Amino acid sequence: MSRPLKLGVAGLGTVGAGVLKLLADNADIVAARAGRPVEVSVVSARDRTRDRGVDLSNVAWVDDPVALAADPRTDIVVELIGGSSGPARALADATIAAGKPLVTANKALLAIHGAELAQAAETAHVPLAFEAAVAGGIPVIKALREGLAGNRISRVAGILNGTCNYILTVMREEGRGFAEVLADAQALGYAETDPSFDIDGIDAAHKLAILAAIAFGRPVDFDSVHVEGIRGISALDIGFAEELGYRIKLLGIARRTEGGISARVHPAMVAKAAHLARVDGVFNAVVAEGDFVGPLMLEGRGAGAGPTASAVVSDVIDIARGRYTPVWGAASGALSNMPSAAMEDHVGAYYLRLMLLDAPGVIAEVTAALRDFGISMESMLQRGRAPGEAVPVVLTTHDTTERAMRGAIGRIGALASVLEPPALIRIEPA
């Protein structure tokens, strides 16, 4: 059989250890599919003493991960350090400059610096592979870039963060508040000690920026993604959503519109009958819609050692077989220059929850503000009465613009009878 393909792996955390374990446990399958044995020859990690559950006795160590790029013992560099700058960026640049293939699971690096890295890889004729950067073990990059290559994609959307999906699922099933469920998620290891990247929507936005670039054949543009997280979602909103026939999910949505490419991450009301509404716990799911294939959905575990390692090794096998395509699906000269659509131009229906003083004339003030901004109300819910006290009132609207809705909320929030900042959640069609 051919000479083994040698990997240099930077980062031996959960995913790095998972890659080593997969290559050891499934060595025969990997060799058969790669056409040659695949071995880890050199690694770089901060702690050499930690037990990672795999045998590292025959593996060389280097202290500086960037040294892997020039190390003659490596054919492919696998970057699993994480972060959009620092050693991860330096290693990516050095690997491409050295003319070696780069495999990464680093969504932040690609979302923020992917345009430059893709251009450098194209110029150097070097593969840059990143199946593991989005949705863990779900092969969504290959599906969009290769399986749907003959389609004009109109929309890609999904549940892209398992931590948020777990929190919202438990809040719905157990009727508990956000802070309490977040603490449980941290104790279980589903959320980091500092959960900001997850619960503020940044992690999902990194992934959506990558998906949008591939789906619409243009350079990645993280700065154009509108980002909101789930900190403001209350048990009260989840209860009202159920009553109205919806479930609340943190969605990443990219769509081709007349004004350009719209890309947004935010909590959304999704009809219970929709496929995405039934994706619970730590699972991820991605829906794509092409002009010839129609809609399709991929679902699975979006994180963890096994699923992410599976995606990393699939990229290694592709490179071993000489299978790789341009980073965003087409050469840089063939990429689209379609602009990004402004969030203010988004058109859709909205859920609005207000904590109102229970007094005569209050509802009239609210509906007058909606009328003045051209917003048509579809339904209203009010449960119980408490004269002189705060009561929740829920309104849903027909389709309107984000610009109009924000104007109306600004006026409504300034009313003396509105006792808390209004809660706004967009309603997404199935």
Same domain flag for 105 and 128:
yes
Same domain flag for 19 and 121:
yes
Same domain flag for 63 and 202:
no
* 423 assigned to some structural domain: yes
Number of domains the chain contains: 3
DSSP 301-364: E-SSHHHHHHHHHHHHHHHHTT----TTSS-GGGS--PPBPPGGG-EEEEEEEEEEE--TTHHH
Same domain flag for 388 and 349:
yes
Q: List the domain range (segments joined by +) for residue 383.
A: 344-428
DSSP 23: H
Same domain flag for 111 and 54:
yes
* Per-position pLDDT tens, the chain of length 430: 589 999 999 999 999 999 999 999 999 999 999 999 999 999 999 888 888 888 888 899 999 999 999 999 999 999 999 999 999 999 999 999 999 999 999 999 999 999 999 999 999 999 999 999 999 899 999 999 999 999 999 999 999 999 999 999 999 999 999 999 999 999 988 888 999 999 999 999 999 999 999 999 999 999 999 999 999 999 999 999 999 999 999 999 999 999 999 999 999 999 999 999 999 999 999 999 999 999 999 999 988 899 999 999 999 999 999 998 999 999 999 999 999 999 999 999 999 999 999 888 999 999 999 999 999 999 999 876 777 788 999 999 999 999 999 999 999 999 999 999 999 999 998 6
Same domain flag for 164 and 232:
yes
Buried b (16+ CB within 10 A) or exposed e, 334-364: ebeeeebbebeebebbbbbbbbbbbeeebbe
* CATH number, domain containing residue 363: 3.30.70.260
Same domain flag for 158 and 222:
yes
Is 207 one of the catalytic residues? yes
For the stretch 259-288, pLDDT in tens is 999 999 999 999 999 999 999 999 999 999
The model's pTM = 0.96
Same domain flag for 206 and 349:
no
* CATH number, domain containing residue 46: 3.40.50.720
Which position among 107, 207, 249, 272 bears the catalytic label?
207
Same domain flag for 100 and 217:
no
* 49 assigned to some structural domain: yes
pLDDT of residue 266: 98
Same domain flag for 38 and 86:
yes
* 322 assigned to some structural domain: no
* 231 assigned to some structural domain: yes
For the stretch 122-175, pLDDT in tens is 999 999 999 999 998 999 999 999 999 999 999 999 999 999 999 999 999 999
